[in-house]
C-alpha cells in the first residue's frame, strides 16, 4: 500500500508522477494518457519504458510528447540486471509510481524503494489464468477452452512473481455463447479501460481500491 507521504499527496489532490512500462502496442498506455489529459486521472506520465525496440507504445509516447526509452530484455546479463536498469530509468524520471501496461518481462527483485508502488493489470480474474506464459490472447483462449462462464480483469501490486501480489481491484465480464478470442478480448479490454484508472485513482488517494 502507499506510504504516508503518498497518502498525503493523494489527499491533497496532487498528481502522481508515473513511469509506464510497455512491451507491445501500447493501447493501455494510450488510454491512461487520454484519462490524464482529460483530467479524469491524477497522473503525470513522466516516462515510457519499452522492453523491445519495436514496441508501438514508443510511437504512442512520441506522438504525445512523452519521454521514452528502450531497456531491452534481450541481451541483458540477468533478470536482476535488467530489473535494476528499468528501475534506474524510473528513478531518473522522478517516478513515484510504476504502471505495467502490456509489459511482458519479469521484474525481479522489485527494489525496496518501489515496493507497493508498482501496479499491473491482467486480463483475467487472478489467480485464475495467470502466471508465466499467460498474456494477451493466450489468456482469453485458455478461458474459452476451460468453459468458464465469466472472466474479467485484475489490477494488483507487483511482486517478484508473474501475475502475483495483492489484488487492488477486479472487474467481472460474462463469457457469452458464441464468443471467440477476439470478441472476448474486446469485452475484457473495455473493462480494463475503466478498471486501471479506477485503481490508480484509489492508489493516489492513499486507500485500497474498492472491489
- Taking residue 87's Cβ as centre, other Cβ atoms within 10 Å add up to 22
Distances (CA, A) of 189 to 34, 79, 205: 15, 29, 24
Question: Whole-angstrom Cα distance, residue 28 to residue 34?
Answer: 10
Asked whether 105 and 82 are in contact (CB, 8 A), the reply is yes
Question: Whole-angstrom Cα distance, residue 155 to residue 170?
Answer: 6
Bridge partner list, 118: 98
The residue from 6, 35, 122, 156 that is catalytic is: 122
Asked whether 184 and 178 are in contact (CB, 8 A), the reply is no
Question: Whole-angstrom Cα distance, residue 36 to residue 173?
Answer: 25
Query: Which helix or strand (DSSP H or E) is residue 34 part of?
Result: helix 27-38
Based on the residue annotation, tell me whether 122 is a catalytic residue of this protein: yes
Core vs surface per residue 128-144: b (16+ CB within 10 A) or e: bbbeeebbeeebbbbbb
Residues with catalytic roles: 122
Amino acid at each position: 500500500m502507499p506510504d504516508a507521504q503518498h497518502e498525503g499527496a493523494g489527499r491533497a489532490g496532487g498528481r502522481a508522477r508515473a513511469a509506464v512500462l510497455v512491451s507491445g502496442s501500447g493501447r493501455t498506455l494510450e488510454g491512461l494518457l487520454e484519462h490524464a489529459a482529460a483530467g479524469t486521472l491524477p497522473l503525470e506520465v513522466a516516462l515510457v519504458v519499452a522492453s523491445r525496440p519495436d514496441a508501438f507504445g514508443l510511437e504512442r509516447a512520441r506522438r504525445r510528447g512523452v519521454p521514452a526509452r528502450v531497456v531491452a530484455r534481450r541481451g541483458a546479463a540477468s533478470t536482476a540486471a535488467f530489473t535494476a536498469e528499468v528501475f534506474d530509468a524510473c528513478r531518473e524520471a522522478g517516478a513515484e509510481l510504476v504502471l505495467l501496461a502490456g509489459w511482458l518481462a519479469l521484474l525481479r527483485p522489485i527494489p525496496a524503494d518501489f515496493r507497493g508502488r508498482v501496479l499491473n493489470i491482467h486480463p483475467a480474474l487472478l489467480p485464475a489464468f495467470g502466471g508465466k506464459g499467460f498474456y494477451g490472447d493466450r489468456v482469453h483462449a485458455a478461458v474459452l477452452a476451460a468453459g468458464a462462464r465469466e472472466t474479467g480483469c485484475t489490477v494488483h501490486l507487483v511482486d517478484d512473481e508473474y501475475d502475483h501480489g495483492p489484488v487492488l481491484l477486479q472487474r467481472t465480464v460474462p463469457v457469452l455463447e458464441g464468443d471467440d478470442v477476439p470478441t472476448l478480448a474486446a469485452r475484457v479490454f473495455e473493462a480494463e479501460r475503466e478498471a486501471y484508472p479506477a485503481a490508480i485513482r484509489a492508489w493516489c488517494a492513499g486507500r485500497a481500491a474498492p472491489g
